[in-house]
């Protein structure tokens, strides 16, 4: 009983961890930005379809951002994800065209396995090099990025369009929700449309959230990222945890490649160019720290949505030129990063002040002495 009370008291004193705080900031900013867009730009933003469009267009980004979050929580980094998406998309497109235009569902399954296989291959190789050979993750995954991009251009320099009919039918398959739809001007009801990729992305976020929070592997990744030495002393297999974080990251990048192909059925040497940087930005905005041990995939989802919303707003606003878009993107990114830093430092200062105040104050007597 007494123990329970004590736990409650400690929890009260620290209502939110820094990571949760950052996550709530990003959720709040997303809500505020969306509201502002609804009020000023109106148009599409008033319909629920807009949110689904954001999800549909950015499913692959959400998935690779999750994969990066996992690696970053473990204290590493993986900048090969964009390259792996490019390679996956290209090889899947070539494979689908090779098996013939009108072959069956089986070939789609094989393509899916090919995508996962490419991702797994990169994950295994990079994980082995980073965890067991102790090479700096930035360099390993940079080499991975070069390898993936190089292999993509070796496969084909020219864009490859998927001709496979069953796959194109899959691309067009969308989940339709009537009650979230809207009535068009001619009186027809247009239901809200969700692509398979968006559903996969949300499923990945939920799965990874559960994995990080409740499985042994997930908790080990947090522990290793937070403090490698302590994790080692607690008996956690540090190398294996890091290895698996890269394997999961690789698998997810392969999956993201397949999802990308389901959104845009064409391979191209410049697919997901700089995708890794967008993914890193999404993770950071969502509250993941590059130093490791802190982060949350739910925050990452909102980070990715913030980036997507910025792009959408700029695309709809009068400043619709690519260089304006990039500059506004950079400015917003800078704003978020500085805001995060200011909030975090204010919190830590507040905590320090509270600590000194508690130290200065005389200790209250713990229990009334059992007087006679």
Partner 1 sequence: MKKKNSSSSGLGQLLIPLVALGILIVFNLFRDISFFSITMRVNNSGNSVLAGNLISVIDSASELAIIAMGMTLVTAACGGQDISVGAVGAISGAVFVKVLQGMGSITVSSVIIGLVLCCLATIVFKLFNGTLVAVFRIQPMIATLILYSCGRSIAYWINGDATPQLNSPIISSIGMTIPGIPIPTPIFAVLLVGLLLFLVFRFTSLSLYTQSVGINANAARLNGINPTYIKLVSFILLGVCVSVASIIGVCRLGQLNHKTLLVDIEMDAILAVAIGGNNLGGGRFKLIGSILGAYIIQMLTTTLYAMNVAPVNVKAYKAIVIIIIVVAGSPVVKSKLTALWNRIRSGGPQNAQKEGVS
For partner 1, give the closer residue by CB, 72 or 200. Answer: 72
Q: How far is the CB of 68 from partner 1 (least distance, A)?
A: 12
For partner 1, give the closer residue by CB, 168 or 277. Answer: 277
Q: How far is the CB of 315 from partner 1 (least distance, A)?
A: 15
Distance, CA of 69 to CA of 75 (rounded, Å): 10
What are the angstrom distances between the C-alpha of 71 and each of 29, 74, 78, 146, 202? 25, 5, 7, 19, 19
Q: How far is the CB of 149 from partner 1 (least distance, A)?
A: 5
Return the structure tokens found at 152: 């993509």
Q: How far is the CB of 280 from partner 1 (least distance, A)?
A: 7
Distance, CA of 98 to CA of 162 (rounded, Å): 10
For partner 1, give the closer residue by CB, 23 or 51. Answer: 23
For partner 1, give the closer residue by CB, 105 or 146. Answer: 146
Given a contact cutoff of 8 angstroms between Cβ atoms, the answer to whether 265 and 197 are in contact is no
Burial grade of 326 (CB within 10 A; 0-12, 13-18, 19 or more): exposed
Residues near partner 1, by CB under 8 A: 77, 129, 132-136, 138-140, 142-147, 149-151, 153-154, 157, 269, 274, 277, 280-281, 284, 289-291, 322-324, 326-327, 329-331, 333-334, 337-338, 341-342, 345
* Owner of token pair 């619709």: 320
What are the angstrom distances between the C-alpha of 232 and each of 220, 226, 237, 241, 246? 10, 11, 7, 11, 19
Return the structure tokens found at 257: 């490649």
For partner 1, give the closer residue by CB, 36 or 346. Answer: 346
Distance, CA of 65 to CA of 297 (rounded, Å): 8
Given a contact cutoff of 8 angstroms between Cβ atoms, the answer to whether 270 and 149 are in contact is no
Given a contact cutoff of 8 angstroms between Cβ atoms, the answer to whether 177 and 47 are in contact is no
For partner 1, give the closer residue by CB, 43 or 159. Answer: 159
Q: How far is the CB of 54 from partner 1 (least distance, A)?
A: 19
Q: How far is the CB of 308 from partner 1 (least distance, A)?
A: 15
Q: How far is the CB of 285 from partner 1 (least distance, A)?
A: 10
């Amino acid at each position: 009983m007494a123990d329970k009370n004590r736990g409650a008291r400690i929890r009260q004193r620290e209502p939110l961890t820094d990571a949760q705080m950052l996550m709530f900031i990003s959720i709040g900013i997303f809500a505020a930005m969306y509201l502002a867009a609804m009020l000023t730009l109106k148009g599409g933003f008033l319909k629920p379809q807009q949110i689904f469009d954001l999800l549909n267009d950015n499913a692959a980004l959400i998935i690779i951002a999750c994969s990066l979050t996992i690696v970053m929580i473990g204290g590493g980094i993986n900048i090969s994800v964009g390259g792996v998406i490019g390679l996956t998309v290209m090889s899947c497109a070539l494979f689908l065209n090779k098996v013939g235009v009108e072959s069956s569902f089986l070939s789609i399954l094989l393509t899916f396995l090919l995508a996962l296989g490419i991702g797994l291959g990169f994950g295994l190789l990079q994980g082995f090099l980073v965890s067991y050979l102790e090479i700096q993750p930035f360099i390993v995954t940079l080499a991975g990025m070069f390898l993936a991009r190089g292999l993509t251009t070796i496969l084909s320099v020219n864009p490859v369009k998927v001709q496979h009919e069953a796959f194109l039918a899959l691309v067009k398959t969308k989940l339709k929700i009537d009650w979230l739809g809207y009535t068009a001007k001619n009186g027809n009801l247009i239901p809200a449309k969700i692509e398979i990729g968006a559903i996969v992305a949300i499923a990945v976020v939920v799965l990874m959230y559960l994995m990080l929070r409740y499985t042994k592997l997930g908790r080990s990744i947090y522990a290793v990222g937070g403090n490698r030495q302590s994790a080692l002393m607690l008996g956690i297999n540090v190398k294996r945890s890091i290895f698996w974080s890269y394997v999961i990251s690789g698998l997810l990048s392969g999956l993201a490649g397949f999802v990308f192909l389901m959104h845009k059925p064409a391979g191209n040497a410049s697919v997901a160019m700089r995708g890794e940087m967008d993914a890193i930005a999404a993770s950071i905005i969502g509250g993941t720290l590059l130093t490791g041990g802190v982060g949350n995939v739910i925050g990452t989802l909102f980070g990715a949505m913030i980036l997507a919303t910025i792009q959408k707003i700029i695309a709809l606003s009068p400043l619709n030129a690519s260089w304006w878009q990039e500059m506004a993107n950079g400015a917003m990114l800078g704003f978020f990063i500085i805001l995060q830093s200011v909030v975090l430092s204010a919190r830590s200062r507040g905590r320090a002040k509270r600590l000194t105040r508690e130290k200065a104050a005389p200790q209250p007597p713990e229990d009334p002495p059992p007087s006679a």
